Structure 1
Amino acid sequence: MSTGTTLGSAAASTPSSTRPASWWAVVTLGLGIFTLVASEFLPASLLTPIAADLGVSEGVAGQLVTATAVAGILAGPAIVALLPPIDRRWVMIALTGLSIASNVLVALVPNLPLMLLGRALLGVSLSGFWALSLAVVSQLVPPQRLGRAMMIVNTGVSLATVAAVPIGAYLGAQLGWQAVFLGAALAGALTLILQLTALPPIEAGERSGLRPLLATLSTPIIAVGFAALALLVTGHFAAFTYVRPMLDEVGGITTGLLAVLLASYGVASFVGNLLAGLLADRHLRPLLVVVPIMVAAGTAALALAGTSLPVTIVAIAAWGVGFGAVPTMVQTWLGHVAPDRLESGGALTVTTFQTSIALGAAFGGLLFDTLDVRAVFLAASIAAALGTIIFSRVRTS
């Protein structure tokens, strides 16, 4: 399948029991993901002052988020297809450097078009880094520790999800929104220094071009798994986009309690990622079933909870734990079923996530406007349940 050294053959050449693990290198990749995802979320907490300074509406300023997402959809597959077979260490470092340039550009440029360009660069950096992370990590740890290693990387996502918006809002109020983006650039620079010291040489996993991507996507087991993932992620983001109006339906929720509930979802998501890392290497089969069931059950319970606060709290926790486990679960599964296609598989995973996020938000909005928010959550639950059925039928090796 590959004219060069594949990840599968690399794994075969070094027994899994004797291959040394580079855990500090894995941690620096997690730090890279943290700075990238935190940068992605920053506009959500800074939209009002950005719009005011640029003299545009908040809706127009919100396109800073769109620019990152659109670039992200295209960048993962493009980077994997176009990259020559060079040391992936330098590719990951270059992508971290690109994120630094993005944040500096957004902080210093005087107009919206250049800011949109900066945010598009972030989308390229984020998707490229994310697409290659599984293949890179697979060369840093033995195969039987892949799930735990991806948990460490994905902890960066969980922490950024919980911390980026409130920290960005606080620092923006104290120092100004430009300083927040410069601070993100500084965090990226520190991460880049750590990666320079920690990452060893990393072989390219596959040959370049569209053919490996198409071959991976046309592999039945991978296509079926991605179909399940698309259903799960689409359903999740259809609901998550409208979680605020859903919680407003519950009686007795004050502004403070609402903030606590939203924060508890983030904490539950962090716990879900940790649990996935502990379980995925040895218990992947049940994890593929239990995780989407938790998403389906949590969103359904929220739709049916009525004014019950206890049911709402439990449902939020189940939903958060379930979806928090999804990235590590899916990446570990991909490492098991396609160990020699991790770069193309990683790129397709990124595109599946980004496309499903867009579809979920759009479909959820349609249901919200034509029916009500409970219909959104019921539809999300059905999509996750269908994903459960499909995941239950895929092989894990």
Structure 2
Amino acid sequence: MPTAKSAAPVPAVEGRSPRGSARRTASPGEPAHWTAVVGLALGIFTIVTTEILPIGMLTGLADDFGVSDGRAGLLMTLPGVLAALCAPLVAVAVGRLDRRIVLTALMALLVGANLLTACAPAFWVVLVARALVGLVIGGFWSIGAGLAPRLVPAASVATATAVVFAAVPAGSVLGVPAGTLLGEHVGRRAAFVVLAALALAVAVLLATSLPALPVDTVTRPRTLAALLRVRGVRVGLAVTGLVVVGHFAAYTYVTAFLRDTTHVDGTRITVFLLLYGAAGVAGNFVAGAALTRGPRRTFAVAAIGIAAAVLLFPALGRTWPGAVGLLVVWGFAYGAVPAASQTWFARAAPDAREGAMVVFTASFQATLAGGAFLGGAVVDATSTSAVMLLSGVLCLATAATVALAPGPEGR
């Protein structure tokens, strides 16, 4: 593991199981567990969709429970904050427990959280349910995001990682229109029953398709503390923080820009965002191939792509064609970010892969919430155009940091 001056293992913090270390990748002679890879992707898709579904029905939920729109916004911020806090807590708490059992149990907990939301008699009960969603996000992401190397041979790891992370843009985009459509056609409470059914199906798929996944290392608090002293991890935190804050500061308010400045109605906004999501899925798979050569160039190109799109949005996004074109560029570029960030952390700490995924998950969720908060503050003080410009500056700073700072291996 790299330090500030060299690359050397840090066995003292790894807490290896006395039963031995599991292989980091599947051997060429073993079958590839592609069904399990798809199960992980569907799990992340279900989690992401559950996290952002309330955006599409926030006003209606506020009316149902007799709270203000601002207070209803806790349904979005609470899971993100708790996910960042729970990522290390869950990883430490599960110790040596087989990861197949952990992931299946977390998905079962998501079933319960969605059912609790569906039948909640009061707003505080919904908040409890959303807190459980945050726990699931933190635990599932930190454990499941880095499992692709244990499910497929080394030659297929990049493809498997791309499949898993394709769920992020898909869930991010489909979640909002899904919330709107389900809320209108089956009711807001029934929408969460639908998500509970999806989570149950994924739990069954994971339980039946994942192989036994004994731990290769036990994540302990000192493991995470040691990771924060690794130069490559610290750089990963910086570049992930900058680009995710920049992206979500602007993306949280892109609907407001399209409505108020581009003058697009709700139906067309949904279509525009679906195009953004499709571009994100494509960008994710292109990044998957590029990441076999390392995350540095992919990260820089993605940050520059996002910067170009958001900096041009206040000028060119005023027309429908301009807005669509920039959203496609934006989506394609951002589609590469989650996989590039995950790969960066994995390469920075190859001997503490699960610990690295904990740091990745916590930083990603914390900066996601921070970006949305920053964007709201800027929009309240100025305008949606101003937040686009701020986002562009942060993404350019990401590219500069990637270019000037050491890579994930510390050099």
Do structure 1's residue 118 and structure 2's residue 129 form an aligned pair?
Answer: yes
Structural mapping, 1:180-191, within 5 Å: 180-191=191-202
Q: Letter of the aligned partner of 2:364 in structure 1?
A: F
Which residue of the partner structure matches residue 64 of structure 2?
53
Q: 1:16 to 1:382 in 2, by over 3 A?
A: farther
CA contact (8 A) 2:26 2:154 kept: no
Do structure 1's residue 128 and structure 2's residue 152 form an aligned pair?
Answer: no
5+ residue gaps, structure 1, are none
Cα distance, 1:355 vs. partner?
1.6
Task: State how far apart, in whole Å, the 2-side matches of 1:255 and 1:25 are.
Answer: 37
Task: State how far apart, in whole Å, the 2-side matches of 1:140 and 1:251 are.
Answer: 45
Do structure 1's residue 64 and structure 2's residue 83 form an aligned pair?
Answer: no
Structural mapping, 1:330-345, within 5 Å: 330-345=341-356
The secondary structure found in structure 1 opposite 2:373 is: helix
The secondary structure found in structure 1 opposite 2:15 is: coil
Q: 1:304 to 1:199 in 2, by over 3 A?
A: same
Q: Letter of the aligned partner of 2:407 in structure 1?
A: R
Cα distance, 1:225 vs. partner?
1.5
Structural mapping, 1:134-213, within 5 Å: 134-213=145-224
Cα distance, 1:287 vs. partner?
1.2
CA contact (8 A) 2:219 2:355 kept: no
Task: State how far apart, in whole Å, the 1-side matches of 2:117 and 2:204 are.
Answer: 22
Which residue of the partner structure matches residue 281 of structure 2?
270
TM-score, with normalisation over the residues of structure 1? 0.92
CA contact (8 A) 2:232 2:408 kept: no
Q: 1:216 to 1:253 in 2, by over 3 A?
A: same
Q: Which is worse superposed, 44-53 or 86-95?
A: 44-53
The secondary structure found in structure 1 opposite 2:228 is: helix
Q: 1:366 to 1:113 in 2, by over 3 A?
A: closer
Do structure 1's residue 361 and structure 2's residue 372 form an aligned pair?
Answer: yes
Once superposed, what is the RMSD of the aligned Cα atoms? 2.4
Task: State how far apart, in whole Å, the 2-side matches of 1:182 and 1:306 are.
Answer: 37
Cα distance, 1:105 vs. partner?
0.9
**Which one of 108, 118, 122 corresponds to residue 97 of structure 1?**
108
Task: State how far apart, in whole Å, the 1-side matches of 2:155 and 2:293 are.
Answer: 8
**Which one of 27, 30, 42 corresponds to residue 31 of structure 1?**
42
Task: State how far apart, in whole Å, the 2-side matches of 1:190 and 1:244 are.
Answer: 32
Task: State how far apart, in whole Å, the 1-side matches of 2:321 and 2:53 are.
Answer: 32
Do structure 1's residue 231 and structure 2's residue 253 form an aligned pair?
Answer: no
TM-score, with normalisation over the residues of structure 2? 0.89
Cα distance, 1:169 vs. partner?
2.1
Post-superposition Cα deviations, 1:345-383, rounded to whole Å, max 9, x if no partner, equal 111111111221222222223332333322211111111
Cα distance, 1:252 vs. partner?
6.2
Q: 1:333 to 1:145 in 2, by over 3 A?
A: farther
Task: State how far apart, in whole Å, the 2-side matches of 1:298 and 1:284 are.
Answer: 21
Task: State how far apart, in whole Å, the 2-side matches of 1:360 and 1:185 are.
Answer: 28
CA contact (8 A) 1:228 1:390 kept: yes
CA contact (8 A) 1:136 1:202 kept: no
Calculate percent identity across the aligned residue pairs. 34
Cα distance, 1:125 vs. partner?
0.6
Task: State how far apart, in whole Å, the 1-side matches of 2:377 and 2:139 are.
Answer: 31
Do structure 1's residue 4 and structure 2's residue 51 form an aligned pair?
Answer: no
The secondary structure found in structure 2 opposite 1:347 is: helix
Post-superposition Cα deviations, 1:170-229, rounded to whole Å, max 9, x if no partner, equal 222222222111111111111111111101111224223210111112101111121011
Q: 1:358 to 1:252 in 2, by over 3 A?
A: closer
Q: Which is worse superposed, 359-368 or 214-223?
A: 359-368
Task: State how far apart, in whole Å, the 2-side matches of 1:324 and 1:157 are.
Answer: 8
CA contact (8 A) 1:134 1:342 kept: no
Post-superposition Cα deviations, 1:19-45, rounded to whole Å, max 9, x if no partner, equal 542111111111111111111122122
Cα distance, 1:261 vs. partner?
2.4
Q: 1:89 to 1:150 in 2, by over 3 A?
A: same
Post-superposition Cα deviations, 1:98-121, rounded to whole Å, max 9, x if no partner, equal 101101111112111111111100
Name the count of aligned residue pairs: 395
CA contact (8 A) 1:301 1:311 kept: no
The secondary structure found in structure 2 opposite 1:286 is: helix
Task: State how far apart, in whole Å, the 1-side matches of 2:223 and 2:371 are.
Answer: 28
The secondary structure found in structure 2 opposite 1:3 is: coil
Cα distance, 1:47 vs. partner?
2.4
Q: Which is worse superposed, 155-164 or 99-108?
A: 155-164
Task: State how far apart, in whole Å, the 1-side matches of 2:263 and 2:376 are.
Answer: 25
Which residue of the partner structure matches residue 357 of structure 2?
346
Task: State how far apart, in whole Å, the 2-side matches of 1:389 and 1:137 are.
Answer: 30
Which residue of the partner structure matches residue 392 of structure 2?
381
CA contact (8 A) 1:301 1:312 kept: no
**Which one of 51, 55, 61 corresponds to residue 44 of structure 1?**
55
Do structure 1's residue 324 and structure 2's residue 335 form an aligned pair?
Answer: yes
Q: 1:16 to 1:304 in 2, by over 3 A?
A: farther
Task: State how far apart, in whole Å, the 2-side matches of 1:358 and 1:326 are.
Answer: 16
Task: State how far apart, in whole Å, the 2-side matches of 1:37 and 1:252 are.
Answer: 28
Task: State how far apart, in whole Å, the 2-side matches of 1:295 and 1:226 are.
Answer: 18
CA contact (8 A) 1:103 1:181 kept: yes
Which residue of the partner structure matches residue 6 of structure 2?
none
Task: State how far apart, in whole Å, the 2-side matches of 1:21 and 1:306 are.
Answer: 45
Q: Which is worse superposed, 105-114 or 327-336?
A: 327-336
Which residue of the partner structure matches residue 291 of structure 2?
280
